[in-house]
Amino acid sequence: MNHNIDFIEQWIEPGSRVLDVGCGDGTLLASLRDQRKVLGYGLEIDPKSIGSCLEKGVNVIEHDLNKGLKNFADQSFDTVLMTHTLQALRYPHLVLDEILRIGGKGIVTFPNFGNWRTRAYLSLRGRMPVTKQLAYQWYDTPNIHFFTYADFEALCKERTINILHRQFLTHGFPDRLLKSVWPNLFTETAVYHLSR
């Protein structure tokens, strides 16, 4: 699900150092390099995505996130980004700690399980949701944690992580209008700007 997350460019200082953890094909890093002149590096494990980064001239480091981020020194980046990866990691809370150890600020995005489509899918069909946002069967999915943005904010509070900004994204009408009334029901993707 590709939401437009151009607004996060405003959260990133021009010329700063950015680490994109799970950078995919490097589109976001290429845009940050061209628009914000950042010195960016992406971590990725998928060979095809790595190839796309190389062709874009995006700095990409082949890296298995399950082996941790110990290679990176404390506060060695201004911003550490992680888009749509948190829900696929074994210990998301420890990864959040690592993001804010390495970066002065963190930006994370994740699919909001509180969205009405997933709720309706589970409650009416009695089956685990397979939606555009979460397009996998339960037995073969990279997404091993399901949580809502309210769960995420509770975790941030527990671990004394400051929320600098948040943005809730959704597709289509009337969801976009209703989002302001019932954000948890109508948000598909949550985007957070964090610090410690």
Partner 1 sequence: MSLETSDTQKDLSESVGWVKPQKVLIEQPLKLACGVVLPSHTLVYETYGKLNKECSNAILICHALSGNHHAAGFYKDDPKPGWWDQYIGPGKPIDSNRFFIVCVNNIGSCFGSTGPASDNPDTGKPFGANFPPLRARDWVESQRLLMAHLNIDCWAAVVGGSLGGMQAMRWSLEHPDKLQHAVVIASSMKLTAQNIAFNEIARKAIKSDADFCDGNYLQENKIPHRGLALARMIGHVTYLSDELMGQKFGRDLKAGDLLQGKTEPVEFQIESYLNYQGDKFSDFFDANSYILITKMLDYFDLAREYNHDPVAAFKHAKCKFLVVSFSSDWRFSPARSRELTDALIAAGKDVSYIAIDSDHGHDAFLLPNQRYQEALGGYLSRLADQLEGAQ
Residues that bind partner 1 (CB under 8 A): 17, 39, 41, 47, 50-51, 53-62, 71-73, 76
Closest separation in Å from C-beta 184 to partner 1: 38
Q: How far is the CB of 183 from partner 1 (least distance, A)?
A: 37
Residue closer to partner 1 by CB (options 59, 131) is 59
Nearer to partner 1, 44 or 188 (CB): 44
Q: What is the DSSP letter of 121?
A: I
CB of 10 to partner 1, least distance (A): 23
| Distance from chain centroid for Cα 74 | 21
User: Which residue lies nearer to partner 1 by CB, 1 or 54?
Assistant: 54
56 vs 101 by CB, closer to partner 1:
56
Q: Specify the residue, 56 or 165, whose C-beta has the smaller distance to partner 1.
A: 56
The beta-carbon contacts of 88-94 under 8 Å, at least 24 apart in sequence, are 88/142, 88/143, 88/144, 88/145, 89/65, 89/144, 89/145, 90/66, 90/144, 92/145, 93/155, 93/159
- Residue 31: alpha-carbon gap to chain centroid: 16
Q: Which two tokens stand for residue 116?
A: 């009405």
- Tell me the closest approach of the beta carbon of residue 54 to partner 1, in angstroms: 5
Shortest gap between Cβ of 192 and partner 1 (angstroms)? 25
Contact 195, 164 (CB under 8 A): yes
For β-strands 39-44 and 189-195, DSSP reports them as unpaired
Given a contact cutoff of 8 angstroms between Cβ atoms, the answer to whether 147 and 87 are in contact is yes
Taking the CA of residue 90 as centre, how many other CA atoms within 13 Å lie in the half-sphere pointing to its CB? 5
